[in-house]
């Protein structure tokens, strides 16, 4: 029981190190697109569902408006998105892809494959790990 507080025995530290290592792999791939990781996952949401409310993006990505607002402004400055007020409710900001933002999707297509190529695991093994992570996230999000 004396080992319980050793850093190498901490589940959270293993997850933290994994995310740092994954971000190290992502960085050069995303640099080619002039995106940060958080901008990339925001674009993933928009490529899946264009014309989405800011609050929905925040909910999907677990990001608060303090993080999301400057991120969206930067994406708008890069001309990947446009931010428009909802005609029926001025409080709602709708985020839509520009042509440049939609075209960026083609440049990003190989990123997931390039990431997975860095693991010495089969696709089914990676998928099984992802499923376990998803289960843990569902438990913790309650």
The tens digit of pLDDT for each residue in 32-56 reads: 999 999 999 999 999 999 999 999 9
pTM: 0.89
Which residue(s) pair with 84 in the sheet?
94
- Whether 99 maps to a domain, the answer reads yes
User: Residue 126 and residue 121: Cα distance in Å, rounded?
Assistant: 6
Quick one: 87 and 49 in the same domain? yes
Quick one: 14 and 46 in the same domain? no
Largest CA distance in the chain: 61
Quick one: 20 and 55 in the same domain? no
Domain count for the chain, please give it.
2
Q: Domain containing 78: what range?
A: 42-105
Quick one: 101 and 119 in the same domain? no
Contact 104, 80 (CB under 8 A): yes
pLDDT tens digit sequence for 5-15: 999 999 999 99
Quick one: 59 and 85 in the same domain? yes
């Amino acid at each position: 029981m004396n080992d319980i507080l050793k850093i190498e025995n901490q589940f959270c530290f293993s997850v933290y190190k994994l995310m740092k290592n994954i971000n190290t792999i992502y960085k050069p791939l995303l640099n080619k697109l002039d995106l940060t990781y958080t901008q990339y996952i925001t674009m993933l949401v928009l490529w899946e569902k264009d014309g989405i409310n800011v609050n929905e993006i925040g909910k999907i990505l677990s990001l608060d408006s303090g993080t999301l607002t400057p991120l969206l402004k930067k994406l708008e400055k890069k001309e990947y998105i446009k931010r428009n007020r909802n005609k029926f409710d001025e409080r709602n900001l709708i985020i839509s892809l520009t042509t440049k933002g939609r075209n960026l999707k083609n440049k990003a297509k190989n990123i997931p494959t390039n990431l997975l190529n860095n693991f010495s695991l089969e696709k089914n093994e990676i998928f099984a790990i992802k499923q376990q992570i998803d289960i843990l996230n569902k438990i913790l999000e309650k």
